[in-house]
Structure 1
Amino acid sequence: MEPNLPLPAINVFLVEDYAPIRDRLAALIGSVEGVKIVGVADEPDAAFAGIRASQPHVVIVDLQLKSGASGLTVLKWLRQHAPDAAALVLTNTIYPQMNALCFKLGARLVLDKSMEALRVRDAVIELAASRKQA
């Protein structure tokens, strides 16, 4: 493809239980041309159903979800049921062992929510660009 062509459409699903953060992420990511938020969920079962229905290219996952549920459950599920979806983890649970586990479960990127949240937008742009080159 030619470099001046627009990036291909990329569908994003958000798994985040705190509505203000979820809304801010949706606005941030949705500001990228061609990116569409296709669904949101605040716990694993809703995420599974939404991801099945929307078939997103990217799933952004928080590790601490509603009612004490874990985003690790979502990563495991993605690896089995939606392996083509790129998983990005954005969490406050950031330490080397957890990062390693997220990568082992298929995450492409793990970001610290308190310090690196704005990098999510760039990561989505990079994924869209890589889809353009494919």
Structure 2
Amino acid sequence: MIRILLCDDHRIVREGLKQILADTPDIEVAGECADGPEVVRQARVQAIDLVLLDIAIPLQDGLDVLRQLKQEMPRLPVLMLSTYPEKQYAARCYRLGAAGYLNKSADTEQLVEAIRKAADGGVYVSPHMAETLAAELSARTAHTQRAAHESLSHREYQVFRLIAAGRSVKEIADQLTLSPNTVSTYRSRILEKTGASNDVGIAMYAVRHQLLPV
């Protein structure tokens, strides 16, 4: 039996996933939560085999939760499930140690396959993502210039997404537990790296590169 910790801030999504997985005899949802800190807390105390984690969760960014889980429990598989475009977010998740990435539009067979593979110690990569990763590797080998956002650090990328979503410096500081001055420093680096001149420019860059949830 594969015991799963399910994290999504939308109850209707959690209920839907539980209903789907209830028909799979070798998979059990052992726990559920709606925010980042609760994922970490439950993962520390529950006997689970895999975490099914949404990226856009409250209180602590899903990518940050992924990084923390891999630091504390490196052998615990974390499967990312999101509405964010696979092309732009999956590669970053894999670099942080995710055992797989699925868009929420994936069908039931894909979800079950990904869970089984990740729980067995493998890494699930969809056919579409395999092509994307191969193209990225080929581009790097050929020294092709990468998109500006790919040069952002993990924390810069978090701040970038929140700015693009219209959050203020204070709101970002509160959410990421940073000082406003630190957020402003990250913002300056983001402006420099992306070539944007202000927050509107950052938002336009995010839209142009499909980096906002659909």
Relative to the length of structure 1, the TM-score reads: 0.79
Change (3 A) 1:105 1:117: farther
> Where does residue 6 of structure 1 map in the other structure?
none
Q: Read off the aligned partner of 2:82 and give its amino acid letter.
A: T
| Structure with the larger strand share | 1
Q: Which residue pairs with 2:43 in the alignment?
A: 51
Do the aligned residues in 2 keep the contact of 1:32 with 1:125 (CA within 8 Å)? no
The 1:106/1:55 distance shift into structure 2, 3 A limit, reads farther
Separation in structure 1 between the aligned mates of residue 85 and residue 49 of structure 2, nearest angstrom: 24
The corresponding residue for 2:4 is 12
After superposition, the C-alpha distances for 1:81-106 in whole angstroms (9 at most, x for unaligned) are 12121111110112434211100111
Point out the more displaced range, 34-43 or 119-128: 119-128
Per the alignment, residue 116 of structure 1 pairs with 106
Cα distance in 2, alignment partners of residues 90 and 41 from structure 1: 14
Higher RCO, Cα 8 Å, sep 6+:
1
**1:1-134 residue pairs with structure 2 within 5 A?**
9-66=1-58, 69-113=60-104, 115-118=105-108, 119-127=110-118, 130=120
| Mapped partners of 1:107, 1:17: distance in 2 | 19
Contact 2:66 2:78 in 1 (8 A): yes
* Distance in 2 between residues matched to 1:54 and 1:78, nearest whole Å: 13
The structure number with the bigger radius of gyration is: 2
Q: TM-score, normalised by structure 2?
A: 0.51
**Offset of 1:44 from its aligned partner?**
1.1
How many residues are aligned here? 120
Structure that is richer in helix per residue: 2
Query: Is the 1:12–1:35 contact (alpha carbons within 8 Å) kept by the matching residues of 2?
Result: yes
Q: Aligned with 2:102: secondary structure?
A: strand
CA contact (8 A) 2:86 2:103 kept: no
Residue 123 of structure 1 deviates from its aligned partner by 1.7
The residue identity in structure 2 corresponding to 1:76 is: R
CA RMSD of aligned residues (A): 1.8
Gap change, CA 1:54 and 1:125, over 3 Å in 2: same
Residue 34 of structure 1 deviates from its aligned partner by 2.8
CA distance in 2, matches of 1:98, 1:127: 18
**CA offset digits 1:60-113 (Å, max 9, x no partner):** 11100135x421121111111121211111101124342111001111211111
Amino acid at match of 1:11: R
Q: Structure 2 vs 1, CA of residues 99 and 112 (structure 1 numbering), >3 Å: closer, same or farther?
A: same
